[in-house]
Structure 1
Amino acid sequence: MGQGQQEQVATSLAGAVSEEISASLAPVDAELERRYPGDPGTRQPVHTVYVPGDAFAADTIRSWGDRALAALDEHAPDAAASFAAVLGLSDELAEPVYSRVRAKLEREPIEDLRVDFEDGYQGKEEDQDAARAARLIAEAYENGTAAPYMGIRMKCMETAVRDRGIRTLDIFLTGLMEAGGLPEGLVLTLPKVTYAEQVTAMVRLLEEFEKARGLEAGRIGFEIQIETSQSILATDGTATVARMIQAAEGRATGLHYGTFDYSACLGVSAAYQASDHPAADHAKAIMQVAAAGTGVRVSDGSTNVLPVGPTAKVHDAWRLHYGLTRRALSRAYYQGWDMHPGHIPTRYAAVFAFYREGFEQAAARLARYANHTGGDVMDEPATAKALSGYLLRGLDCGALDIAEVARVTGLTRADLEGFAAPRRGDLTISGK
């Protein structure tokens, strides 16, 4: 055999067989692309803060940051007295986490803010409050004081409040358009969704608004809040939440678990309504599986135990919130809801500790994979995707710096993004 020539290998099937199979699976290929596009690759906020529509003001974000810093000053004035002692962090980890939390509260105290016109709203002038929310959010994006993500939680699609919710959404979106257009960070939340048809109605509503204002079709997305048992399991035994994602026609951006409404719907006593209750774990597991690969992200709920009062009570609430947040992160729920400024320090403490504790190991594993140098763990493309996604989330929230990630991995952010977002078929190719 001459140099450069390859040995011919024997086969038994005619080439037409492969072509026929590919042709028969073409509709399935298209369906996979449509239904399971993968994660959008955009930043996911670590939390959502909701503020009643009648209480939202121009200084809300800065006020929450200042109140969170004041809570640290009063109840945990240094790393040893706060995270090391109260939250059980090692001395080595406590100082960098503490300093990063303080810097975060000064720089970007809220990552995602929802002006609430549902359960938390007690105002009497909803038209005016919705218009004011639009004006203030538009101004915040204009002057650089906005959170990365901002929007409203409207009333649900149930009969008693449907018209009111539609009107509030119309006023809010119209106000944004009149102020210059919809911001990139706009997020809308549709609560108490029970039937997929309610999601279809929301899609229709947004379609009509886009047509009325000359917007690109599909420009406006929304989150679906899961707060009823019917949104998890339908009467025929199927997963309603999966139908909801399909009914959203690509507009669903997230599934948000509603801790207290969902627990109450199942008859869980008030004292046991928490995000770590078995009923909550079941619901979120169904949400997670239904959303996997669709580009729809899952968010955990909140705790209603507020860190207020004497220091001992605040520390107890901090330990609870920190523990629940760490538990959620380990279960791949990378976002949750915070109800009070005092929750923000422990939200960021838990998030930063989660990424810093595992940083060196994750970065080293990804470096070995990228450089094909092996090691004591044989990683595959799917693991490389998880490792790079972990590092990117750490970078996005401020737990990690790109310089330290590059030092260990030798990779740029673009490299990380490439590993984090392979096409479906690439995940089956070892060493891709």
Structure 2
Amino acid sequence: MDELGAWAAALAARRPDAARLRRVGTSRAGEPLWLLSVGRGSRQTLVVGGPHANEPVGGATVRRLAERLVVDARLTEGADTTWNLLLCLDPDGLRQNEGWLTGPYTLDRYVRRFYRPSFLEQPEWLPDGPDSVALPETRALLALQDELRPFLQCSLHGVDVGGGFVELTHELPGLARRLARASVRLGIPRELGSYDALYWPGLGPAVYRIPPPRRAGLTAAITEAAVDSTWTHPRRHGTVTAVVEAPMWAVDAVADATPPADRDGVLSAVSATLRHDTRLLHRLLARLRPKLPDTPDTARLLAPVDDYLLVCPRLADAWDPATDDGSERGLPPLTTAHLVALRIAGRRLALRTAGLLHQVVTVAGHDPADVLPELDRLLDRWCAEYRDGCAARWVPVARQAEFQSRLILAAFDLAGRHVSAPFRTGKPGRGPEATVPVHRD
């Protein structure tokens, strides 16, 4: 966080003609929310870095994008556009991940230092609607959306293990082709059966349509992103939102669109493994919880553990062909890529839970229930299954950031070309549609 803020301040000081930095809010822990604006055009874009605490690639992407914007006037003055880059939406959460951010980048190190707050403390979600928002980070983002009324919003996310993909509130014809080109050039597989978008319509390979929000219980909200969010809130301003996902560890099999050889067998195994892991983690938590100190750190780490253990049985049932009743919420047609993504997602939930329990003990300073040896064995074995069973490979940070940057610029270009209604600008009245030059591969 300190490095990112210092870089932005230095850029604004070096190029005051092109860039301005202002504080647009304050986190729960008192961290500033910084907005870097580049250009002075009437059309507004909004790029949101760091919405999820364990997905730091957005900060690197913001840096890469801003350094280009200050030297390429075609994307600012030439496009009558101001780019607004929110450095990090959840700075408190990012602070909790700084233990692994300096490397070495191994799965073992990542999961033992991983942190992601509970669902209700993640600032992009509006489970009770925009009028009942409790988090100051969320209020700041909503206010910024209503102030700027951007024609394009990009939310920058990072898949820990898997491939790259994009989720859209509006169709942008041509984006799937641009994504495919970036995938080939950068060696990042497209995630053709994303777990996040399992029940969402496809708009092309690795491009998914974010459905309108609906009323849902907590488990559905966590697993299906079914509730209102800051992705969909600015639709009233004509905003197109693109959620851009880049993987930290890539798995080539997520791009395998062939029909599966044994769909039901794989689903049964994935569901059985998730149930087994959940029972094991429940037992460890039951041994540990009564002996833990009653501290804010303990509560912070156990809140997401409770979320994961709440949703795991529901997901195991949803994926199990033996419990598929053929209802509307039943599984869609599945490719090999879908099955790989579900296998990764099931293991991800168990790994995150075990990693958080490991941190609970290490933060407490002692192991009151003698669970660390078992947790270490589990984490070692499950990480090895990712590396060996899924052939997960580290994607250099520069490639992650370049992948996101290319897709942001592609969405920027295509939004002006293909959205039929004129966009509202950050000022009263309507702004023009535009086609602007972007980087070509």
Instruction: Flag whether TM exceeds 0.5 (same fold).
Output: no
Bigger RCO (CA 8 Å, 6+ sep): 2
Name the structure with the higher helix share: 1
What TM-score does the superposition give when structure 2 sets the normalisation length?
Answer: 0.26
What TM-score does the superposition give when structure 1 sets the normalisation length?
Answer: 0.26
Name the structure with the higher strand share: 2
